[in-house]
Amino acid sequence: MSTVVLISGANRGLGKGLLERYLRLANHTIIAANRNPDHPTSKDLFNLPKAEGTELIVVKLDARVWQDAFDAIKSLGSQGIDHIDIVVANAGVAYVWPTVAEVKLEDIIGHFEPNTYGVVALYQAVRPLLQKSKREPIYSIMGTTAGSLNSQPKLQNSCYGPSKAAVAWYSIRINEEDSWLHSFSLVPGFVHTDMGDIGAAALGIDKATQDQIMIGLDESCDGMMEVLTETTKEKHGGKLVMYNGETIDW
């Protein structure tokens, strides 16, 4: 039986990096979910190398729209998908970095819709297919120390940070409420992606400091793949896990 993996936000950045690595594994079906399957970055996914017995499916899923997750999963039935083994809830945004005194309601909502609500909607939509997995299924949420309560970075981040703090709560609760499902948050690190580089510049982090605190996409994705391969509910369930396998405080 093919191992079925769904990755949201899979046409760029971390999502694409993980997608590329899963496609190199034999006998896998990888579902690349993103908001515009007709975009060139989405169509280009079909040109990525694939291992023997591995196939790629692209589905429309706009994490800002609650119903999209349910429509996306419903569409998979006609493509022969009767179970899912691993979900990486990666889709998210970070586009403004105000102080709490300056933050606007529309920007809080604009971050919570994809980063929090979208992750909950995806969980509800994929849950029946995860229950049909023949292994311990995984619902992994892309985490970050930006949402930490105990070790919060000293940077203004009053939209993205709170949205990730909220989804951390859901990560813990999902793991508690579903005894059969392994849910945890996976921290990629501060990575040189388009979103990471824009954020670093917007926060005024100079290049010398970026070189100290940021890592490359390959280092992050290679590490996350190792974690996803070795993780279990007993070991990591309901926890915040770094790309290098280290468990850190929420």
Q: CA nearest 34: which of 74, 6, 55, 54?
A: 6
Residue with tokens 């979910």: 33
**Active-site residue, selected from the candidate residues 16, 50, 164, 233:** 164
Calpha distance 13→23 (Å, rounded): 16
Pairing of strands 86-89, 3-8: parallel
Q: Specify which residues 248 forms β-bridges with.
A: 240
Please give the distance of CA 222 from its chain centroid, rounded to a whole number. Answer: 15
Strand ranges for 80-181 from DSSP E: 86-89, 138-142
The DSSP symbol for 155 reads S
**Active-site residue, selected from the candidate residues 22, 123, 139, 160:** 160
Calpha distance 219→235 (Å, rounded): 22
Look up 207 and say whether it is catalytic: no
Calpha distance 12→18 (Å, rounded): 10
Calpha distance 108→8 (Å, rounded): 21
Look up 170 and say whether it is catalytic: no
Task: Cite the active site residues.
Answer: 160, 164
